[in-house]
Copies of this chain bind each other. A is one copy, B any other.
Amino acid sequence: MESKQFDVVIVGGGIIGSSIAYYLAKENRKVAILEADKIGGKSTSAAAGMLGAHSEYKEFKHLYPFARSSQLLYKQLYEEIRELTAIDFEKRNGGLLKLVYSENEKKELESILSLSSVEWLDNKEARKRVPQLSKEVMGAAYLQEDVHITPLIACNSLSKGAQLFGAEIYEYTRVLAVSKTGMEYSIKTAQGTFLAKNVVIASGVWSNYFFQQLGLSHEIIPVKGECVAAINEGAPLRYAVFHDQFYIVPRNNNELIIGATKKWNDWSENPSLDGLEEVIQKAKKMIPEVGEMKWTRAWAGLRPQTYDGHPYIGEHPEMKGLYFATGHQRNGILLAPATGKMIRDLIIGTPVEKEWLDAFKVERNIFAYGGGK
């Protein structure tokens, strides 16, 4: 096979890679996604899809503006994508209740509660919105902007949108090696070699192989998250609920998505029995009647964790034209649009916020940030 030539080759077709492809194809760049499996088939499809710019506020620290900008981009994208592809990626309004069981827990939410879009609900008001809540719930921060979407559908619709702008999608195409000759990158796969002026590594936890192959000692640690789903037999749940890093998220199809554990450095993509037990217990603490609901399925996904909790979004320190967009931890769905836009701007040459450049750059000082958790 003759080598195909592109402006940008994106390695990885999860929601990050698909968003990058969408933003670049829309600017008439000739783009290819090379995906080792199916579009969105790994961590993307395992995610619950909460756009938790506020609920993850503590996590984001001074990078809340980046997360918030991404949350706002979703509002645009939702309409734009539906117009373009006829696909509705199931943005579900209503938002999220971050539950509080004690004064101490309430105190921890102080910074979130100070945000203008966030409202404090006492026990009575919280139960008005979610009558199924445990009686032990003291109250809740109501984050109305933290809506949720169905991640695999959003991912597919972004890649379909990119296709309509001319992008090419290669599934089941595992990249064996990336190398540079002159000004051009050559991306070797079992199906042949692709050539490109720019390459973006967006392979989540599987980016390690490329860090190493490209001379970097960076490392992504997988943090496995285990989930179950159950049929909601009672009244519909209008809001997602959240406590202690666990959540219950309602879907259109009457499933409640319940997750997720955090297992460090566990590469297995199936849930363990311990994981299921933990998830069920945490869910019952929020909504006791969940225990009686009927199980439908269980799964797990691997969150790509960096040493300091911030993603790598930026250029290789020495290889011009080679970018990374990985390490989004538990916020890949939320951060996909802002990441796609930022990579687009870097490649196209549009200015990007200085603060974001610094915080996410690949060669950042590993002592400058406090660590993700």
Which of A116-124, A227-235, A313-321 sits within the interface?
A: A227-235
Q: When the two chains form the complex, which single residue of B94, B206, B208, B281 contacts A86, counting CB atoms closer than 8 Å?
A: B94
A272 x B252 contact (CB < 8 A): no
Q: Is A38 an interface position by the 8 A CB rule?
A: yes
Interface digits, A58-97 against B, CB 8 Å rule (1 contact, 0 not)?
A: 0000000000000000000000000001111110111000
Report how many residues on chain A are interfacial, defined by Cβ distance under 8 Å.
Answer: 71
**Could you tell me the distance between the alpha carbons of A295 and B272 in the complex, rounded to whole angstroms?**
5
Q: Is A270 an interface position by the 8 A CB rule?
A: yes
| A271 cross-chain contacts in B, Cβ below 8 A | 294-295
Which of A105-113, A136-144, A168-176, A341-349 sits within the interface?
A: A168-176
Interface digits, A259-300 against B, CB 8 Å rule (1 contact, 0 not)?
A: 000000101111111111100110110000011111110100
B172 x A190 contact (CB < 8 A): no
B236 x A85 contact (CB < 8 A): yes
10 A–B contact pairs at CB < 8 A? Answer: A85-B236, A87-B254, A89-B252, A153-B253, A153-B254, A160-B254, A190-B209, A191-B267, A271-B294, A272-B291
Give the B-binding residues of A (Cβ under 8 A): 38, 85-90, 92-94, 150, 152-153, 156-157, 160, 163-164, 169, 171-174, 176-177, 188, 190-191, 205-206, 208-209, 212, 222, 228, 230-231, 233-238, 250, 252-254, 265, 267-277, 280-281, 283-284, 290-296, 298
